[in-house]
Structure 1
Amino acid sequence: MAKVGIFFGTDTGNTRRIAKDIATALGSAIAAKPVNVRNASVTDMLAYDTLILGTPTYGEGLLPGLSTGNATESWEEFLPALAGQDFSGKKVAIYGLGNQKSYPTEFVDAVFYLYEQFKHCGATIIGEWATEGYHFKASKAVVDGRFVGLALDQFKASKAVVDGQFVGLALDQENQKDLTPGRLDTWLKMLAEAWD
């Protein structure tokens, strides 16, 4: 199996720490060293058959970037480079960090923007995550009743909810940090099945 590329956006370091945890859990035979998206190119991503992408959600459901107060460029500046790119045949899994209590109506919404862009580029999205255990009204990151990736925390509404499921793994390191290791383990096992 080809190595899995892990790319993340971060400012405080929480999303980077999760990327490192994922790489450690998968092992160096499977996972490449995680790369901050500010140091990556589309060509870097296209070198992998499978990608794991991580993002925090800023403020009212925004991607990290200079306009949202990030100290450096991040997903906000990277996504325009995807215009016209072909990710057909690539598998993409997404995890997102958010704070359900402080931002209950935008919990992990940034996951949706990665989901939407990579799906538009032809990628197959894997790693949808159940919404059970979260408290929310709506989320852009939920599709068909499940998160489109791993979600960690509780929330009331999120763009990351499409058709009732998160479009990626949702994580809340502020309010549900103790649940993160178990959620990551379960999610990575789901991804391994999708890679085969």
Structure 2
Amino acid sequence: MKKAIFYGTTTNTTNEVASILSDITGIDDVYNVIDGIDNILNYDLIYVLTPTYGRGELQDDWALVIEKIEKLDFSSKYVALLGTGDIIVHGDSFVNTLRAMYEVFKKANAKIVGMVDTKGYDFLESSSIENGKFLGLPIDHLNEYDLTEERIENWQKIIQKEVDLNE
């Protein structure tokens, strides 16, 4: 199974999380979407990392490629979403961009994997929850950086149950 990480970043936080994810998973194919997404369909499992701005606006680099993603067919692809956000400053809209990315990839027929239980997160509100689970992995690497690695490792166990990562 070919795996890759695609991320957008403005303040470099999501880049740091992408690096941690790469170290934990052993994935060497890591792409900043500012450089394009032309090769995104070359992978079977695609990790999509996005920060949240404001109340859930797409990060600028993702906003530039989102229309292209909407035109692609991900029906044979697994997509695992990871959203970075600030649980303190934006606790009333924590990782809302996960919802936007979920909708885009779901519309493109992707199989979304890696939904995470809301337990262990202290936030006010998020539009990125369905049936008691986040639509991906929420990470607050600014205020809860000491939990980032553990949360990613636990997330990998969830994804492993849903996808044969060794395939």
**Would you call these one fold, judging by a TM-score over 0.5?**
yes
What letter matches 2:40 in structure 1? M
| CA deviation vs aligned residue, 1:66-112 (integer Å, no higher than 9, x gap) | xxxxxxxx111111112332100100001111111111211000111
Give the fraction of aligned pairs with identical amino acids, expressed as a percent: 35
Q: Quick one: which of 30, 41, 58 aligns to 1:63?
A: 58
Instruction: Tell me if structure 2 keeps the 8 A contact 1:3–1:32.
Output: no
User: What is the aligned partner in structure 2 of residue 13 from structure 1?
Assistant: 12
Contact 2:118 2:133 (C-alpha < 8 Å) held by counterparts: yes
Partner of 2:83: 96
Q: Residue 185 of structure 1 corresponds to which residue in structure 2?
A: 153
Q: 1:113 aligns with which of 100, 122, 133?
A: 100
Alignment equivalent of 1:162, drawn from 130, 133, 155: 130
Contact 2:7 / 2:50 at 8 angstroms: preserved in 1? yes
Is the partner of 2:93 in helix, strand or coil? coil
- Partner Cα separation in structure 2 for residue 20 and residue 157 of structure 1: 28
Residue 61 (structure 1) shift: 1.6
TM-score calculated relative to the size of structure 2: 0.93
Residue type of the partner of 2:45?
Answer: T
1:37 aligns with 2:33: yes
- In 2, the alpha carbon distance for the partners of 1:26 and 1:157 equals 30
Q: CA deviation at 1:174?
A: 2.2
Q: Number of aligned residue pairs: give it.
A: 164
Secondary structure, aligned partner of 2:17: helix
Q: Unmatched 5+ residue regions in structure 2?
A: none
Letter in 2 for 1:85: L
Give the distance between the partners of 2:95 and 2:12, measured in 1 at CA: 16
Judge conservation of contact 2:79–2:113 (CA < 8 Å) in 1. Answer: yes
- Which AA in structure 2 matches 1:26? T
- Give the equivalent residue in structure 2 for 1:23: 22
* Separation (CA, whole Å) in 2 of partners of 1:77 and 1:84: 13
Matched position secondary structure for 2:156? helix
Partner residue in 2 for 1:194: 162
Unaligned runs of 5+ residues in structure 1 are 66-73, 136-154
Q: Deviations over 1:119-164 (max 9, x none)?
A: 11000000000100113xxxxxxxxxxxxxxxxxxx2111111232
| Cα shift at 1:191 | 1.7
After TM superposition, the runs of 4+ consecutive aligned structure 1 residues lying more than 2 A away are: 192-195
Cα distance in 2, alignment partners of residues 191 and 40 from structure 1: 26
More relative contact order, 1 or 2 (CA 8 Å, 6+ apart):
2
Cα drift, residue 185 of structure 1: 0.8
* Displacement after TM superposition at 1:55 (Å): 0.6
Q: Does 1:77 find its partner at 2:73?
A: no
Q: What is the CA-CA distance between 1:178 and the residue it aligns to?
A: 1.2
Task: State how far apart, in whole Å, the 2-side matches of 1:175 and 1:118 are.
Answer: 28
- Normalized against structure 1, the TM-score is what? 0.79
